[in-house]
Homo-oligomer: A and B are copies of this chain.
Amino acid sequence: MDFTFSEDQLLFQDSVRDFLVNEVTPERIRASWETASGRDAALWAQLAELGLTGLTVPEELGGLGMSELDFILLAQECGYVALAEPLVHTALVAVPLLRELGGELAAQWLPRIAAGEAKVIVGLEHNLLVEDAHVADLLLLQRGERILAATPDQVALRHNESVDPSRRLFAVDVAADAAEVASGERAAELATRALDRGALGCAAQALGLAQRMVDMSVQYTSERQQFGQAIGAFQAVKHHMANIAVRLEYARAPVHRAAYSVACAEAVASQAVSHAKLVACEAANLAAKNCIQVHGAMGYTWEVDLHIFMKKAWALANSWGDAGFHKTRVGEHIFAEGAALGAGATFA
């Protein structure tokens, strides 16, 4: 039993955090809102250079050969800066699915992903819309009982505008000639695992988003003066923040456990992911609510950066399965006849 990250994992997290905080500034995010694609090719090149796009690509295909678990702390940091590029999607959803599909497809695309030359985007039946479909060089699309691989010329995209200007969402119509890469039982299994990994990515980012909102709010309330003192000295403001800290503190371990569970393909992976996503997104939603409150009218503006993180938190809560979906999965487990619950059942 060892529930800690290795020194290497923690050092990697530190260095990626430093990079992201320095590079993915709110100003840069705002600048990307004004561009047609909303995506930043230079930034993607930087990420590739650091090996991040190929982090979960096998070493023999040019990647770092790491697991979902190795990536999870980095996914938190992606949330911390509200990274708009599909890095979490790449490392946690697209690459593992390609790895599972294997063969020609994997051999062809994984090296290009690792090199930062291509983006592969996954769209499941469960996804109402596909984020970043417009920058995909290849789309892996679940359609009924099949998974198809479609090139950009084989799809028609319909843009749907989100409240979060960083998110670019598309309905995807796929041409009949797109290649089938899996079907039947196997396609369904791959889709479930992809959905789990997508939800896991949301959960990890939600932790980072919540932490960022807390950090911004601690700073703001320590500076903002009213009634002759910093408003952060008022007990009501303190308790708003403390309430987030409590929920956030207890959302972390479930996310890490879910990452481990996914990486090890444990039987309880889906349930662990649903748990993680529910508690992490709830912590982030609470952070959004309380942080806008302690910001006062400033928090309600477009100019203050809080909304960048708040809107992303709202959106992630309903992406890759909303609360109803994940509660249902947990409920199916705990309300089942003879479910193993209680003391000692957690790692059994």
Contact = CB atoms under 8 A, between A and B. Distances in A.
Interface in A213-251: 234-236, 239
Nearest to A236: B235
- The A interface, classified by DSSP as helix, strand, loop or mixed, is helix
Interface string A237-274: 00100000000000000000000000000000000000
Nearest to A237: B235
Interface residues of A, number: 4
Contacts of A235: 234-236
Copies of this chain in its oligomeric complex: 2
A127 to B, nearest CB: 30
Contacts of A234: 235
A236 B235 CA distance: 6
A234 B234 CA distance: 9
Contacts of A239: 236, 239
A236 B236 CA distance: 6
A158 B236 CA distance: 50
A234 to B, nearest CB: 6
Nearest to A239: B236
A227 to B, nearest CB: 11
Contacts of A236: 235-236, 239
A236 B237 CA distance: 10
Instruction: Please indicate which of the listed interface residues A234, A235, A239 has the most CB atoms of chain B within 10 Å of its own CB.
Output: A235
A236 B239 CA distance: 8
A235 B234 CA distance: 7
A235 B232 CA distance: 13
A234 B235 CA distance: 7
A227 B40 CA distance: 54
A282 B62 CA distance: 61
A239 B237 CA distance: 11
A234 B239 CA distance: 12
A18 B289 CA distance: 45
A233 B78 CA distance: 42
A162 B187 CA distance: 58
A239 B240 CA distance: 12
A25 B239 CA distance: 37
Nearest to A235: B235
Nearest to A234: B235
A286 B124 CA distance: 44
A226 to B, nearest CB: 13
6 smallest CB-CB distances across A and B, nearest first, come from A235-B235, A235-B236, A236-B239, A234-B235, A236-B236, A239-B239
Interface of A: 234-236, 239
6 contacts: A234-B235, A235-B235, A235-B236, A236-B236, A236-B239, A239-B239
